[in-house]
Structure 1
C-alpha cells in the first residue's frame, strides 16, 4: 500500500497523521478482506481555509468540513445497501483516489465530542477510504452498511463506536 501524504499544515506532522492513517487504512483493508499491496492513495493534510476552498469548488459548499474524498473510479453498488464493487488493479499500483482532511475541524470536533483526537482522525480516515472504495451514506441502507463497516473497523483498533451518543 502506497500512501502519499502532502502536508500543507505542519500540525498534522506533529499529530502523527502518517502512522494514524496507515494503521486505520490497513485495518480497513483487513476488515474488507482486500490485499492492500497493489493500491495507492493520496492524503492532503490541510487546514480549514484550504478545505473550505476545496469544499466550495467540488461540492458547492463554501464552508470548511472535516474530510473530503475523490474516488478514482465509481465502485458504488447499484442497489441501496448493496456491497460496493471491489477495485481491480490493472497494473502494479492502482490509485484509489484522494482524501483531504482539515486539522482545524478535526481538532474542534474531537474537543466538542470529548473524544481523543487520534480516534477522531482515525475515524475520518476510515470514512474517507470507504468513500474511495464505493461506500456512501446518501441512501439509508448504504449509510447503515457504511456506518457498520466503520464501527467494526474502528472496534478492531480499540476505538469506540463514533455513532453512539454520550
Structure 2
C-alpha cells in the first residue's frame, strides 16, 4: 500500500544545494514505510539566523544547527483515528549548516541532506538518542534507511549529530 504524504515545504533561505521536492518526499516516505500509512509534516528550510533563534529558544544552544524536530502532540480527548493524528510535526533544516557540515566532513551534499531528513523524521516518530541503547537503535535505523536509498553509512567517519 502506498503511503499518503502531505508535505508542506517552506523555503525561507537562499538555495544552498536544496534537494528537489520529489527527493525530500522519497526520503520521508522511506522512513514512514512500515510505520505509517498516512502522514503530514512540514519541512522548513531556513538560514542560520532563524536556525540559531529556534535552537536558542527551544534547546538553549546559541548557535545554528543542522536539523530541529518539533513533533506534533495529539491534544487530549482526540482519537488517534482523527485525521489530525496524521500530523507528524515540523522539521526545520538549516541549509547553510548542512552544506558546511557536508564540506567539513567530506560527505556528498545530497547524502547529508538525506541523512538530516531521515534523522529528523525519526525524531518526529518518537525515536531519540538520549541513551546509548536508543542511539544505537536510531543510528541502525538511519543506516538501514539510507542504505536502502543508496546512500553510504552516515556515521562511518564521525558523529555529525553530536549536539542533538
TM-score of the pair, normalised by structure 2? 0.84
8 Å CA contact 1:39, 1:89 repeated in 2: no
Aligned counterpart in structure 2 of residue 27 of structure 1, from 30, 34, 48: 30
Hey, which bits of structure 1, 4+ residues long, moved more than 6 A?
A: none
- The aligned counterpart of 1:85 is none
Is 1:154 the counterpart of 2:146? The answer is yes
- The aligned counterpart of 2:161 is none
Q: Which moved more, 1:128-137 or 1:111-120?
A: 111-120
Structure 2 unmatched ranges of 5 or more: 75-79, 159-164
Aligned counterpart in structure 2 of residue 133 of structure 1, from 112, 125, 136: 125
- The aligned counterpart of 2:98 is 106
| Structure with the larger RCO, 1 or 2 (CA within 8 Å, 6+ apart) | 1
TM-score of the pair, normalised by structure 1? 0.83
- The aligned counterpart of 2:19 is 16
- The separation in 1 between residues aligned to 2:14 and 2:116, in whole angstroms, is 19
Structure 1 unmatched ranges of 5 or more: 75-87
Shift of the alpha carbon at 1:92?
6.8
The residue correspondences of 1:1-166 to structure 2 (distance < 5 A) are 1-11=5-15, 15-30=18-33, 33-36=34-37, 38-73=38-73, 88-91=80-83, 94-165=86-157
- The separation in 2 between residues aligned to 1:15 and 1:142, in whole angstroms, is 30
